[in-house]
Amino acid sequence: MKVALGQFVISSEWQSNAETCQILMARAVQAGAELLILPEACMAQDGSDADGVLRLAQPLDGPFVSQLLTASRGSTLTTIAGMHTPSGDGLVYNVLVVVRDGRLIAHYNKLHLYDAWEMKESKNVKPGSEVPPLLEVAGFNVGLMTCYDLRFPDMARRLVMDGADVLVVPSAWVKGPLKEKHWEVLATARALENTSYLIGVSACGGRNIGNSLVIDPMGMAIAHAAEEPALIFAELDKTRLAQVRHALPVLENQRFARPQLRNEQDA
């Protein structure tokens, strides 16, 4: 499967970001990609206004998603992009949307909110309550995670135990001391400990690091962007995946049960 990673500087104007997304979608199609991953919250982001997500949010049937759906028609490309949607109680969800051939085929409300490094995402964002469903793309099972989710190994392991071959992590990874190192170490660890591919795409510019990457099941980086806007590509190989899982059968050898959300355990 050929995958495309599109990192860009997210503005506070959704129309400008939607145009960028559509350009990247067209370039990915032209290059023969089957999966395009765009950053977290790429619909709109205002780093100068902590409460801006409340003002910028749109429903799933709003104009941003509508433009992505229109751009996706007539193509087999699967596109994953981030946005905020109203939760109905004065807060918003941090959402990944998945579009293909004019249809919204899935969405995921971010589970782990970024209440760290003196930031408090939960002030305005409501956490999701469900593990995201797996997506089938070109014969691969794809599991969705968002940014801060990368720091929680149980989530990655749950998705892989559910059948994921690929972990996709759209992000707006915030700059800070050693943060680029954290991004690379965590992405590598999640791929290697689960013998899965991992695709991490971060916004760039301003407060975000860029550095989008693809890690293979043996923990090797097979594609890596720098800090500027970019569209990069990588090939994922089912044979490589099978070979690594045969040589390093950690999923067969594990002794722990399948991780569950707390609300799943209570149900």
DSSP, res 118: T
- Which pLDDT tens digit goes with each residue over 43-95? 999 988 878 999 999 999 999 999 999 999 999 999 999 999 999 999 999 99
Which of 34, 40, 121, 204 is flagged as catalytic? 40
Residue 263 in domain: no
Structural domains in the chain (count)? 1
User: Does a structural domain hold residue 267?
Assistant: no
What is the per-residue pLDDT for 267? 52
Residue 48 is predicted with a pLDDT of: 80
Judge whether 265 lies within some domain: no
Instruction: Write the CATH number for 139.
Output: 3.60.110.10
pLDDT at 265: 63
What is the overall mean pLDDT for the chain?
96
Answer yes or no: is 205 within a domain: yes
**pLDDT tens-digit series, residues 174-230:** 999 999 999 999 999 999 999 999 999 999 998 999 999 999 999 999 999 999 999
Average pLDDT over residues 153-181: 98
Q: How far is CA 106 from CA 33, 180, 263, in A?
A: 19, 30, 21
Q: Does residue 110 carry a catalytic annotation?
A: yes
Q: What does the pLDDT read at residue 266? A: 57
241/256 Cα distance (integer angstroms): 22
Residue 40 is among the residues annotated as catalytic for this protein: yes
Burial class (CB in 10 A: 0-12, 13-18, 19+), 117: exposed
Within-domain flag for 262: no
Please report the pLDDT score of residue 180 as a whole number: 97
Whether the per-residue pLDDT at 32 is higher than 70: the answer is yes
Q: What is the pLDDT of residue 264?
A: 80
Please give the pLDDT value at position 255.
Answer: 97
DSSP 13-29: -HHHHHHHHHHHHHHHH
Catalytic choice (34, 110, 121, 126): 110
For residue 208, the enclosing domain spans 2-253
User: What are 141's two structure tokens?
Assistant: 């099972």
Evaluate whether 37 touches 168 at the Cβ level (below 8 Å). Answer: yes
The verdict on residue 141 lying in a domain is: yes
Residue 260 located in a structural domain: no
Among 21, 42, 147, 204, the active-site one is 147
Angle value at C-alpha 5, between 95 and 133, nearest 5 degrees: 40
DSSP structure class, residue 88 = S
Can you give the pLDDT at residue 179?
97
Q: Is residue 220 part of a domain?
A: yes
